[in-house]
Amino acid sequence: MYQEGARLPLTGEARLEAYLDAIVGGLGHARRAASARAYCTGLLLPGERKSIEPMAARLDPAHVQAKHQSLHHVVAQAAWDDAALLAAVRAEVLPAIERHGPISYWIVDDTGFPKQGKHSVGVTRQYCGQLGKQDNCQVAVSLSVANDHASLPIAYQLFLPEVWANDQPRRDKAGVPAAIRFETKTAIALGQLRQALAAGVPVGIVLGDPAYGDETDFRVGVSDLGLRYLLGVRPGTSVWAPGTGPLPPAPWSGRGRRPTRLRRDAENQPVTLKALALSLPAQDWHSVTWRAGTNGELSSRFAAVRVRPAHRDTARSEPWPEEWLLIEWPEGDAEPAKYWFSNLSRRTTLKRLVRIAKARWWIERDYQELKQGRAAKRIDGLGQFEGRNWRGFHHHASLCIAAYGFLIAERCLFPPQRPFIRRRIETPALSAGFQPRGAAGAASAA
């Protein structure tokens, strides 16, 4: 529908119909496809709550109960393939994004959904980014593709904590597939990268925050896939400063096994990223502008040096490969603010490193528009599914991404000031006094 040079329908409604026809075609049963179309439409309509009952009331005010049942069935019970739907969304939306340039970035991240109670699949006390602290929540790992114009989530999976993965009665009750075992968030993300490569998704530089970049196995795994990365790391991460490195294995005495492991001594030690940043001379720091923001150009002070990570290198026979360390230290701040590792070419300029590092803001915008806020042109429904099972959690997320994909494709066709499709769809009035279940609660029921 959004192929370069294709003749487009004249109206937003017609484009929406064509888009939904394309993405629900693989769902099989005609009634299932119709319900999926209605679900996506309900997500696109204005309204504060995007759980099933309020959407049913907006879609068909005269038959709320029947519409509720059909929407609930398609999202919580019907057996259709999330990956196939997301592939169809990708096939429709990527050509629209690529009108503005090739895919440049693959962004890995996770997001939390606060929950009350303990019955929703995967819910436990863990770090919730939405709250900025440990709390009762679900967490999902995602992969998005982006260029400097737009982005699209293409993979999404619930993180199943060990307390859930090892509890068979709870697994059975929540319908967790037998193939799903405990995996760390970084292991899930690596799996999503492998699947994207196998599916032929246009390759981009892998971006992620320190939860991913600080794990050596994740960075090595990304490199082993033949991918480039620029990943956040924490200030306490240890490296060898430029011009230093671990000592070679001890000389062989001629007896026993030949030594193979790298060494350190009192004078030859790695340093933390923060210590290295504080030691850099003034001439290493440069002001860089990376893009225009809502209040003017965004700029800060950066330095980039070549270093070797030092993580457990005394268990190795060769030092870790040299890579870039990018550091941001805003003018006037007492200490550096952010750090990144990158295996990009040593010829990469500072300006390019900064621009790539800052491209991760796309994932923050995606999550904001998928699950937070009440502004126009947002889906706002990702965290509002009120079911408890594995299938429903992923079906709801896939349909949210499908609806969001349509908005992204629309944005790629028109300047930002043009009205989007949500302003052109008439929303049926709700019945007088209608009050959806759970509307009084601030958090989702668990």
Lowest mean pLDDT among 63-77, 207-221, 424-438: 424-438
Q: Report pLDDT for 195.
A: 98
Question: pLDDT exceeding 70 applies to what percent of the chain?
Answer: 87
Q: What is the mean pLDDT of residues 245-249?
A: 92
Q: Report pLDDT for 118.
A: 85
- pLDDT for residue 26 is more than 90: no
Lowest mean pLDDT among 148-157, 245-254, 260-269, 411-420: 411-420
Question: pLDDT exceeding 90 applies to what percent of the chain?
Answer: 67
Q: Higher pLDDT residue, 368 or 54?
A: 54
Q: Report pLDDT for 292.
A: 77
- pLDDT for residue 71 is more than 90: yes
Which amino acid is residue 229, in one-letter code? Y
Q: What is the mean pLDDT of residues 376-398?
A: 78
Confidence of residue 415 (pLDDT cuts 50, 70, 90): low
Q: Report pLDDT for 334.
A: 95
Q: Report pLDDT for 446.
A: 47
Give the predicted TM-score (pTM) of the model: 0.87
Q: Where are the domains of the chain?
A: 12-209+363-445, 216-243+263-359
- pLDDT for residue 266 is more than 60: yes
Q: Report pLDDT for 438.
A: 45
Exposed (0-12), middle (13-18) or buried (19+): which is 87, by Cβ within 10 Å?
middle
- At 144 the three-state DSSP class reads strand
- pLDDT for residue 2 is more than 90: no
Q: Report pLDDT for 432.
A: 54
Rounded Cα–Cα distance for residues 260 and 262 (Å): 7
Confidence of residue 423 (pLDDT cuts 50, 70, 90): very low
DSSP annotation of 61 = G
Contact 443, 117 (CB under 8 A): no
Q: Report pLDDT for 1.
A: 62
- pLDDT for residue 424 is more than 60: no
**Per-residue pLDDT tens for 285-344?**
999 999 877 778 899 999 999 999 999 999 999 999 999 999 999 999 999 999 999 999
Lowest mean pLDDT among 2-6, 55-59, 395-399: 2-6
Confidence of residue 40 (pLDDT cuts 50, 70, 90): very high
**Site of tokens 């126009």:** 376
Confidence of residue 153 (pLDDT cuts 50, 70, 90): very high
- pLDDT for residue 119 is more than 90: no
Rounded Cα–Cα distance for residues 134 and 336 (Å): 26
User: What's the Cα-to-Cα distance from 427 to each of 375, 421, 424, 430, rounded to whole Å?
Assistant: 16, 12, 9, 9
Phi-psi bin for 312: left (phi > 0), alpha (psi -120 to 50), beta?
left
Which amino acid is residue 373, in one-letter code? G
Rounded Cα–Cα distance for residues 228 and 343 (Å): 6
Quote the tokens at residue 329: 């230290």
